[in-house]
């Protein structure tokens, strides 16, 4: 595994750890959502770096997933990916951090975001092990 790949995965793992500590806290569901987006972005960038697929200087999850999908053996819900994509891209001010277009994520939303981020991270770790 390339050094840069390992660095992306370490950063993604840090986001997972933050989410684990925040899960279930109704006041912090937006932060779980934000870290899920970040974990997915960093995990996908690890695959892109490892296999030299393209530039990682973008933040669009949909584009990153499109670039990396041939190296992943998992199916992701495209609606969920688009939702998390909008969460990051639409954030302009601190009060919006981690908010979905319809507002603050529910606990169920945040759990789904965490599970998706964890699934992708673990799949990529298994692929690169």
Q: Which residues have a Cβ under 8 Å from the Cβ of 56 and sit 6 or more positions away?
A: 8, 45, 48, 49, 64
Where do the domains of the chain lie, and which CATH numbers do they carry? 3-128 (1.20.120.330)
Mean pLDDT of the region 104-108: 92
Predicted TM-score of the model (pTM): 0.91
pLDDT in tens, 23-59: 999 999 989 999 999 999 999 999 999 999 988 888 8
pLDDT per position as a tens digit, 55-93: 888 889 999 999 999 999 888 888 888 888 887 655 555
């Amino acid at each position: 595994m390339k050094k840069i790949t390992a660095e992306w995965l370490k950063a993604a793992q840090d986001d997972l750890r933050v989410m684990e500590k925040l899960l279930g806290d109704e006041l912090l569901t937006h932060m779980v959502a934000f870290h899920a987006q970040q974990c997915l972005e960093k995990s996908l960038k690890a695959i892109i770096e490892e296999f030299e697929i393209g530039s990682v200087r973008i933040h669009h999850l949909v584009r990153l997933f499109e670039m990396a999908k041939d190296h992943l053996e998992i199916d992701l819900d495209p609606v969920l990916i688009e939702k998390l994509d909008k969460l990051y891209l639409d954030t302009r001010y601190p009060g919006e951090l981690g908010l979905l277009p319809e507002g603050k994520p529910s606990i169920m939303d945040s759990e789904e975001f965490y599970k998706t981020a964890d699934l992708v991270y673990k799949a990529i770790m298994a692929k690169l092990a």
